[in-house]
Amino acid sequence: MYTDFQSYLQTTLKEIEEAGLYKNERVIVSPQRAAIKVSTGKDVLNFCANNYLGLSDNQELIDAAKKALDERGFGMSSVRFICGTQDLHKELEQKIAEFFGTEDTILYAACFDANGGVFEPLFTEEDAIISDALNHASIIDGVRLCKAKRYRYSNANMEELEECLKQAQAQRYRVIVTDGVFSMDGNVCPLDKIHALAEKYNAMVMVDESHSAGVVGQTGRGTTELHNLRGKIEIITGTLGKAFGGAIGGFTTGKKEIIAMLRQRSRPYLFSNSIPPMVAAAGCAMFDMMARTNELQDKLHANTDYFVAQMKAAGFDIKPTQSAICAVMLYDAKLSQQMAEKLLDEGIYVVGFYYPVVPKDQARIRVQISAGHEREHLDKAIAAFTKIGKELGVIK
Ligand SMILES: *Cc1c(COP(=O)(O)O)cnc(C)c1O
């Protein structure tokens, strides 16, 4: 039986490789941070982690995790509703709600699960889900698991959204779904306009703040802070796997009846394990830190502004960004790979993206800035970009 299937897999894998789309993993042999060591022995500066606040190796979080490991054990061996809930999990849910200015929160093992489990329990074939075309894969999968009528509008296109909303008047309830920050361009969703349209056409709004929480808005409270909509958005999902320490975990936070219903019916919550006590405890310590100071946000914003300004001054074409994601536009797929490779030789770890991850002829290098970067890290990256950019004829 396996022989046929094996050769089918081998052929397909070869096709992936020949198309230049085979994903190889670079192995890191140090903690995740700004300056890392990879398995070849090379020391590089990391500009491709979602470690926006530099918390992946933060001592305060490590200490909180160690303490919980000693006091609360290693794992929960249970889903939440059987015997997988400690006070730590309840505390973390409350702290997330306070951070976002929402009513209640439900934790998941990952944001992939939060998005996978948010639609099906809430909406039926009588309802409408109106989704941005560039929404994250987990939103797309979550929508697929739900019988609601689907509508799709091009990225941040408010005319198309309005058209969808007009058509969706035929359904019972409507929810507009968007990423807070779109990960390839770094653009923030126009939440103010989305919210206004939702009011006009009697719809709810869901925002996935995975790339925006901790980053966007003056104090990093996300797109609802940036657009002055705290407490006005019905559903927010997010991850503990990016700015918030980078370990593992996701959440849905918002209106309390919605969260209550998810606790009753959301399948990734009901049928998947509770996050470990050390992750919950470190999460609590992290939100305490956020409540205490905006130091990391200030540093991140200053770092991003500096990097973008210097790169533009060097002559690079940078997509307008309101996040910590800077897309250095190269347009040519091969060039994006060449440039990333040469930058790695210079000790700068970045990734080039091209079709089908981004639209055709929109190849780029995505740079992710962190509060963990020092000015000297940024200067080294800018110098390397400038040197290689000149070498490859990207800039003069
Ligand atoms: C990273 C990401 C996710 C997945 O988060 P995990 O916690 O790693 O599963 C979901 N949505 C968006 C928009 C993301 O960027």
Q: Is 242 a catalytic residue?
A: yes
Is it the case that residue 22 has pLDDT exceeding 90? Answer: no
Over the stretch 355-386, which tens digit does the pLDDT of each residue have? 989 999 999 999 999 999 999 999 999 999 99
Would you say the CB of residue 279 lies under 6 angstroms from ligand 1? Answer: no
Q: What is the pLDDT of residues 288-309, one digit of tens each?
A: 999 999 999 999 999 999 999 9
353 lines ligand 1 (CB under 6 A): no
pLDDT, mean of residues 48-66: 98
pLDDT at 155 over 90: yes
Evaluate if residue 392 carries a pLDDT over 90.
yes
Q: Which pLDDT belongs to residue 363?
A: 96
Task: Check if 56 is active-site.
Answer: no
Percent share of the chain, pLDDT over 70: 100
pLDDT band at 188 (very low <50, low <70, confident <90, very high): very high
The confidence score (pLDDT) of residue 20 equals 80
Give the tens place of pLDDT for each residue, 345-361: 999 999 999 998 999 99
What are the extents of the domains in the chain? Answer: 20-49+294-391, 59-292
Q: What would the pLDDT profile of 203-234 be if each residue is shown by its tens digit?
A: 999 999 999 999 999 999 999 999 999 999 99
pLDDT at 21: 82
Distance 239 CA to ligand 1 centre (A): 6
| 3-state secondary structure string across the chain | CHHHHHHHHHHHHHHHHHCCCCCCCCCECCCCCCEEEECCCCEEEECCCCCCCCCCCCHHHHHHHHHHHHHHCCCCCCCHHHHCCCHHHHHHHHHHHHHHCCCEEEEECCHHHHHHCCCCCCCCCCCEEEEECCCCHHHHHHHHCCCCEEEEECCCCHHHHHHHHHHHHHCCCEEEEEECECCCCCCECCHHHHHHHHHHCCCEEEEECCCCCCCCCCCCCCHHHHCCCCCCCCEEEEECCCCCCCCCCEEEEECHHHHHHHHHHCHHHHCCCCCCHHHHHHHHHHHHHHHHCCHHHHHHHHHHHHHHHHHHHCCCCECCCCCCEEEEEEECHHHHHHHHHHHHHCCEECEEECCCCCCCCCEEEEEECCCCCCHHHHHHHHHHHHHHHHHCCCCC
% of the chain with per-residue pLDDT over 90: 98
Tell which one of 242, 248, 272, 279 to mutate to probe ligand 1, the residue whose CB is within 8 A of the most ligand atoms: 242
Under CATH, which architecture does the 59-292 domain have? Answer: 3-Layer(aba) Sandwich (3.40)
State yes or no: pLDDT of 8 exceeds 90.
Answer: yes
Indicate if the pLDDT at residue 19 is higher than 90.
Answer: no
State the fold for domain 20-49+294-391: Aspartate Aminotransferase, domain 1 (3.90.1150)
Q: How much distance in Å is there from the Cα of 392 to the middle of ligand 1?
A: 34
**Does 179 contact ligand 1 (Cβ within 6 A)?**
yes
The string of pLDDT tens digits covering residues 254-288 is 999 999 999 999 999 999 999 999 999 999 999 99
Average pLDDT, the chain: 97
The residue contributing the CA closest to ligand 1 atom 2 is 210
